[in-house]
Amino acid sequence: MNEILLAFSFVLAFLLALYGTPLAQKVAFRYQILDQPDGKLKQHSRPVPYMGGVIVYFAFISPISLVFQFNQQLLGILFASSILLLVGLFDDLKALTPGIKFLFQVVATYILLKSGIVIDLVFLPLWLDLILSFFWILTVINAFNIIDIMDGLAASVGALSALTIFVVSLYSGDFLISILAISLAGALLAFLSFNWEPARIYLGDAGSMVLGLLIGSLAMMVRYTRFNRLAFLSGLFVLGIPLFDLAYVIILRLLKGKTPFLGSPDHFALRLRKKCQWSAQKTVTAILFAQLCLSALVVANFFSGPRFTVLSTVLIACFFAGLGAVLAQVKME
Q: How many residues does the chain have?
A: 333
Write down the pLDDT at residue 229. 81
Write down the pLDDT at residue 42. 60
Q: Show Cβ contacts of residue 214 under 8 Å, excluding neighbours closer than 6 positions.
A: 60, 77, 81, 162, 180, 184
Query: Is 90 exceeded by the pLDDT of residue 224?
Result: no
Confidence class for position 9, pLDDT limits 50, 70, 90: very high
Please compute the mean of the pLDDT values over residues 122-143 and round it to a whole number.
88
Cβ atoms within 10 Å, residue 91 = 22
Please compute the mean of the pLDDT values over residues 149-175 and round it to a whole number.
92
* End-to-end alpha carbon distance in the chain: 55
Q: What is the dihedral of CA 86, 88, 90, 93, to 10 degrees?
A: -140
Query: Is 60 exceeded by the pLDDT of residue 13?
Result: yes
Q: Give the distance, in angstroms, between the CA of residue 287 and the centroid of all CA atoms in the same chain.
A: 14
Please compute the mean of the pLDDT values over residues 242-250 and round it to a whole number.
92
* Residues 231 and 224 sit within 8 Å (Cβ to Cβ): yes
Query: Is 70 exceeded by the pLDDT of residue 41?
Result: no
The whole-angstrom separation of Cα 240 and Cα 26 is: 34
Please compute the mean of the pLDDT values over residues 296-315 and round it to a whole number.
89
Please compute the mean of the pLDDT values over residues 77-100 and round it to a whole number.
87
For the chain, percent of residues with pLDDT exceeding 70: 95
Write down the pLDDT at residue 153. 94
Supply the pTM of this predicted model.
Answer: 0.92
Closest Cα to residue 88, out of 200, 210, 184, 263?
210
Please compute the mean of the pLDDT values over residues 141-158 and round it to a whole number.
92
Query: Is 60 exceeded by the pLDDT of residue 124?
Result: yes
E strand or H helix at 49: strand 48-49
Strand 48-49 versus strand 34-35 pairing type: antiparallel
Query: Is 90 exceeded by the pLDDT of residue 212?
Result: yes
Q: Give the distance, in angstroms, between the CA of residue 115 and the centroid of all CA atoms in the same chain.
A: 21
* Residues paired with 48 in a beta bridge: 35
**Can the peptide bond before residue 242 be classed as cis, meaning omega within 30 degrees of 0?**
no
Task: Please give the backbone phi and psi of residue 329, each rounded to the nearest 5 degrees, phi first.
Answer: -80, -10
Write down the pLDDT at residue 173. 84
Task: Report the range of poorest mean pLDDT among 106-110, 153-157, 259-263.
Answer: 259-263
| Residue 311, burial from CB neighbour count under 10 angstroms (0-12, 13-18, 19+) | exposed
Query: Is 80 exceeded by the pLDDT of residue 263?
Result: no
Please compute the mean of the pLDDT values over residues 104-127 and round it to a whole number.
87
For the chain, percent of residues with pLDDT exceeding 90: 51
In the predicted model, what is the mean pLDDT of the chain? 88
Side-chain-facing half-sphere of 325: CA atoms under 13 Å: 6
Cβ atoms within 10 Å, residue 279 = 13
pLDDT digits 0-9 by tens, 45-80: 678 888 899 999 999 999 988 887 788 888 999 999
Q: What is the DSSP secondary structure assignment for residue 116, as one 8-state letter?
A: T
Please compute the mean of the pLDDT values over residues 91-96 and round it to a whole number.
78
The radius of gyration computed from the CA coordinates of the chain, to the nearest angstrom, equals 19
Query: Is 90 exceeded by the pLDDT of residue 314?
Result: yes
Write down the pLDDT at residue 37. 67
Helices (H), the chain: 2-30, 52-67, 72-92, 98-114, 126-147, 153-172, 175-195, 204-221, 234-238, 240-255, 268-276, 280-303, 306-327
Write down the pLDDT at residue 287. 95
Classify each residue of 130-159 as buried b or exposed e, where b means 16 or more C-beta atoms within 10 Å of its C-beta.
eeebbebbbbbbbbbbbbbbbbbbbbbbbb
